[in-house]
Amino acid sequence: MQAPSSPLDVLVVAPHPDDAEIGVGGTLLACRQQGLRVGVIDLTSGEPTPHGSLERRAAETAAATKILGLDWRANLGLPNRSLQSDLESRRALASVFRLTRPKIIVAPYWEDAHPDHVVASRLADDARFWSKLSKTDMLGEPYWPPKMLYFFSLHLRIHPQPAFVFDITPHIDAKLAAIRCYESQFVAGRSQTPPTILDDIRDRARYWGWTIGVPFAEPLASREEIGLRDLRSLV
């Protein structure tokens, strides 16, 4: 795996290609606009699926990556549908953290109906700790990613309490365009009678925007306190 040309500011850990776009596509677009270096590590190929294939999903991912303008994206090649937070997977993801050296890791929320999402959340937590270990044969130098956040790409119909809500109003159209790249997941074989799954994603962004008084937003959770240096960032 090739390291980015310089350390990342934000790295999203996505169980499958399309989870980063659904959960924090707007946030990633905003970060890029602000000059931050952003990347995604997809843990699995996401295949097999009813209307997808390895080749089709890879092409869809490349198209979505171009829209997001990511500085770096890679796939860890772990098994879809059978993701495990085992030692081998932990070592592989910790090596990614050591190579990319992100200031902020954004992982899936720890509660969901999809087993891969739950495991990915735990795996990211475990790999974050392992990333700092010395006297190891893992790739890269020891590194402790300073901040850990969690995004929502949920199958479980719960209403978790986020730590903060990020305004993505200028980026909602590009976020949805990136998601539409995954035609095999969101268009093929699905009813296009409204409300479609894309309508649902947009409506959730509209709801979270409503909670902070803006048109569209994305929620993010944290297990640790979040500090501010400038109250003008509040909306």
Q: Do the domain assignments include residue 234?
A: no
Per-residue pLDDT of the chain (235 residues), as tens digits, is 888 999 999 999 999 999 999 999 999 999 999 999 999 999 999 999 999 999 999 999 999 999 999 999 999 999 999 999 999 999 999 999 999 999 999 999 999 999 999 999 999 999 999 999 999 999 899 999 999 999 998 888 888 899 999 999 999 999 999 999 999 999 998 988 999 999 999 999 999 999 999 999 999 999 999 999 999 888 7
pTM of the predicted model as reported, rounded to 2 decimal places:
0.96
Q: Do the domain assignments include residue 231?
A: no
Instruction: Output the CA torsion sign for 139, 15, 107, 202.
Output: positive
Q: Which residue range(s) make up the domain with 198?
A: 10-223
Q: Do the domain assignments include residue 85?
A: yes
Helix-then-strand count for the chain, H and E: 7, 7
Q: Do the domain assignments include residue 56?
A: yes
Q: Do the domain assignments include residue 228?
A: no
Tell me, what's the pLDDT at 217? 98
- Amino acid identity at 205: A
Tell me, what's the pLDDT at 232? 86
Q: How far is CA 170 from the centre of its chain?
A: 19
The total number of structural domains in the chain stands at 1
Q: What is the CATH number of the domain that holds 25?
A: 3.40.50.10320
Tell me, what's the pLDDT at 172? 98
Q: Do the domain assignments include residue 199?
A: yes
Tell me, what's the pLDDT at 35? 97
Tell me, what's the pLDDT at 235? 78
Tell me, what's the pLDDT at 205? 98
Q: Do the domain assignments include residue 233?
A: no
Q: Do the domain assignments include residue 1?
A: no
Tell me, what's the pLDDT at 171? 98
CA distance 54 to 47: 6
Q: Which residues of 185-199 are buried (b: 16+ CB within 10 A; e: fewer)?
A: bbeeeeeeeeeeebe
